[in-house]
Amino acid sequence: MRIEFLELSNFRKLVAVRIDLARTTSLFVGANNSGKTSAMLALRYFLKDRGGFSTNDFTASHWRAINDVGVRWESGEDPPPSLKEWVSLLPTLDVWLHVEDGEFHRVSKLIPTLDWAGGRLGVRLRLEPDKIESLYKDYLESAKAAKSVSDAAAEAQDAAEPLEVWPVNMLDFLRRKLRKTKLDTHFIIRAYLLDPDQVKDPERGQAQPQTLPDDAVGETSDPFAGLIRIDDISAQRGFGRENEKGNVGETEGRRGDRRLSRQLRRYFGRHLDPTENPELEDLQALQAIAKAQNIFDARLKVSFDPALSEVQKLGYPGITDPKLTVSTRLRPTDGLNHDAAVQYELASGPNPDDTPLRLPEDFNGLGYQNLISMVFLLMSFRDGWMRVGKKKTGSGDEAATLEPLHLVLVEEPEVHLHAQVQQVFIRKAHEILRNHDDLRESKLHTTQLLVSTHSSHVAHEVAYSSLRYFRRMPKSEHQSVPFSAVVNLSTVFGEGDNTARFVTRYLRARHCDLFFADAAILVEGAAERMLVPHFIRLAENRYLAQCYVTLLEIGGSHAFRLRDLIEALGLPTLVISDLDAAIGEQGKQPTKTRPARDQGQVTLNPTLKKWIPKLTKIDDLMDTSGSAKEHQLREDHMYAARVAYPTAIPFEASPGTEVIPYTFEDALVLANLDFFSDESLDGGSLLKKVQQAVRSHQDHPNELSKALFKAICKGDKAEFVLDVLFLASDGQLSDLGFPSQGTTIEGKPSAQGSNAPEPMGGQQYLKAPTYIAEGLQWLGDRLRECKREVLQTGDNSVGDT
């Protein structure tokens, strides 16, 4: 048995999403504010805690409709209050199980009809009013009382501001808290059986949960009791010395308390305590405890005799009063009942008899505390599920009493961990949960691990097919606030596709943060990868430098392969590509050549031919306008891709003439002739050839273009770019030549100030080639528009919810 998929509706910005679960580990990835945390909280509220909701958990786009229910109730309009007017507004979680042959007896209470023959089973958990009449009566009484007070205040204050008295509206009513909120008082989770024949596939990224019949009857009991065991590790784990101040983990029961000493104490009490169901192996320990207790009692009696004798002089105890005595009760857990129960042993001295050097657990690094704590929790979850030690099920068939499915939720395991440890943990987590003799090869018991993360290192270690991408969506005609969709990345490319294999291997080979970015820039090679960040910092549109942009070196021959993935992620994307001009006769292999108009040249770049702008001839590419270089991503008006490739550059020294760069490198040279003509520059062979070409042909565009093409095609581009980076950066300022206070960009003073020194020794800042500057300008504008749409939202859509 396993969970096949979940459908979550009307919970925060998760209006209607389907989350397919992998058989072993599913990883929730996505940028901030994409809904990963909301999904984990919803699973905890519905499946584990069965409560804990607040009014902010209702989707913000439904708040007005919820308040409209209260308005209608106050107006006394027909029809009478009914659950039907709430149904479309209520948070729900549909859990779809896949049940194997031989497991039907476990799910007998979940079978919807006698015709069910196995396979898929569904249950809906819905947060709904318990008794609609009671909610109706309580709200009206409160609303009428509030209106009376407000009216009286308005008469007394004449034209003064009207007094707002609780409840202002239905949400305000439900939010009110005395001992508990009105939401807790009037709302309850009920379970409904679903029809497997009515399951629909998502449309445009949104789930299509089935509609329940009007006469559907729900149950308040937990439908998964005995079927699913649920454990979780929250993101707030309460490490460090803040515990001593009572800020985090003040009590053992608090969710954020993950100190190892307390975990060991709980584990010992549940699985190892010799006083709990003692066995023969516990006899020696119990005898030692009894002996210690007797010795201690005798010592206490001697020690307290003088004090008790002094009390007797005051007339107590009298003839009929009970006599005072002091006795101890030692339990095995007492030895662990302190924060120094767990210590870290340092290296001992040269003498083996030296006392070991030990420090409390607080003195270990937070990363190791987190790692050890999480691993120990996973082991504890597993052993609790398998009834290890003192929690054995007793006589009979133990396996039959265990839940067939163990669902474990882990939020942000990367907290405090450096990259390598993050990777080790996610690789081993599921293995730890299955490290039991009855689990390793068992098909009777399933463990499914759900992990949410912000770490590209964690994502790198999980199979591509296990990634579930939470995508931020703009508000639409149907949703008044931004919402989220969930993309199952295993289905983006279909089955057995060469592109899918390439993308999977590419992502596995690189630690890319594509799944956590606001936008992507795809570049041809190392030169662009090293210099584009420099151009972003120098760009006139400085907004781009404030955004989370990932830069991927993919190469012109492969960039188009990422198209399906980028469209699925909905990322605004700039593709910086070379022109790769070539010429050749019919039937012969084209050979690369210096770009020129009216020569019948074509591009060899697959991105330009297959993705954007889907043109082959160099003449057509030169005549293409800016809008034709864009491609709208499906129906989403915010998200688009744009290509930037070298275009014709007017030659100032020779009016009426132009030069067309072949690659990024010669475009860079042509955009910075003053820099490369500087005789003080000293670098490798390619830089010297470029300098010689610029100084020799600065007034002759055709000859300069030939010389650059010849030099760059045969030169070491990596060495060239490193030389440029070294010579163009001012050591007294930022790395990569990033502008600091007082620097000037193309004659414009920096926004950061004007008091810093100018670049020294002839060093200069590089200008971006025109086609790259235009592309970065487009991406910055697009991101500004996206941010405006996504962040224009209600309270419960802000933050990583």
Question: Is residue 344 pLDDT above 80, yes or no?
Answer: no
Q: Are 27 and 462 in contact (CB under 8 A)?
A: yes
Q: Are 36 and 452 in contact (CB under 8 A)?
A: yes
Span 256-309, pLDDT tens digits? 455 666 666 677 666 666 666 676 667 777 777 777 778 877 887 787 777 767
Higher pLDDT pick, 658 / 353 = 658
| Structural tokens at position 676 | 């490369």
Phi, psi of 107, deg, nearest 5: -110, 20
Least confident of 119-133, 357-371, 638-652, 664-678: 357-371
Span 718-762, pLDDT tens digits? 889 888 888 875 432 344 333 333 333 333 333 333 333 344 344
Helix (H, G, I), strand (E, B) or coil at 410: strand
Least confident of 188-192, 353-357, 365-369, 761-765: 761-765
DSSP 757-796: PPP-TT--PPPPPHHHHHHHHHHHHHHHHHHHHHTS--GG
| Structural tokens at position 665 | 């490198």
Q: What is the mean pLDDT of residues 431-441?
A: 92
Q: Kindly state the DSSP code that residue 219 receives in the 8-state scheme.
A: B
Tokens 């500004």, residue located:
784
Question: Is residue 796 pLDDT above 80, yes or no?
Answer: no
| Structural tokens at position 449 | 């691990």
pLDDT at 740: 36
Higher pLDDT pick, 249 / 698 = 698
Residues 6 or more apart in contact with residue 684 via CB below 8 angstroms: 716, 719, 720, 723
Q: Are 79 and 159 in contact (CB under 8 A)?
A: no
Q: What is the mean pLDDT of residues 410-422?
A: 89
Residue 445 CA: distances (Å) to CA of 24, 117, 394, 402: 12, 21, 19, 8
| Structural tokens at position 380 | 């504890």
Q: What is the mean pLDDT of residues 482-491?
A: 90
The pairing of beta strand 92-99 with beta strand 119-129? antiparallel
Residue type, 402: L
Q: What is the mean pLDDT of residues 501-526?
A: 85
Q: Where are the beta strands (DSSP E) in 273-356?
A: 343-345
Q: What's the chain's Rg over C-alpha atoms?
A: 35
Q: How far is 570 from 371, CA to CA, in rounded Å?
A: 34
Span 195-220, pLDDT tens digits? 999 999 998 889 999 999 989 999 99
| Structural tokens at position 58 | 């209702």
Span 457-478, pLDDT tens digits? 999 899 888 999 999 887 776 7
HSE-CB of 146 using CA atoms within 13 angstroms: 18
DSSP 99-128: E-TT-GGGGGGG--STT--SEEEEEEEEEE
Question: Is residue 597 pLDDT above 50, yes or no?
Answer: yes
Tokens 């469209």, residue located:
567
Looking at the chain, the whole-number percentage of residues with pLDDT higher than 90 is: 46
Least confident of 234-248, 626-640, 673-687: 234-248
What's the pLDDT band for 635 if we cut at 50, 70, 90?
Answer: low
Higher pLDDT pick, 170 / 345 = 170
What does the longest C-alpha to C-alpha distance in the chain come to? Answer: 124
Q: How far is 577 from 614, CA to CA, in rounded Å?
A: 13
DSSP 715-745: S-HHHHHHHHHHHHS-TTS-GGG---TT-EE
Span 564-591, pLDDT tens digits? 899 889 899 999 999 999 997 776 788 8
Tokens 């454990």, residue located:
231
Tell me, rounded to whole angstroms, the distance of Cα 330 from its chain centroid: 47
Please name the helix (run of DSSP H) or strand (run of DSSP E) that holds residue 190, with its range, or none.
strand 187-194
Span 362-393, pLDDT tens digits? 666 677 777 888 888 899 999 999 988 756 64
Question: Is residue 70 pLDDT above 90, yes or no?
Answer: yes
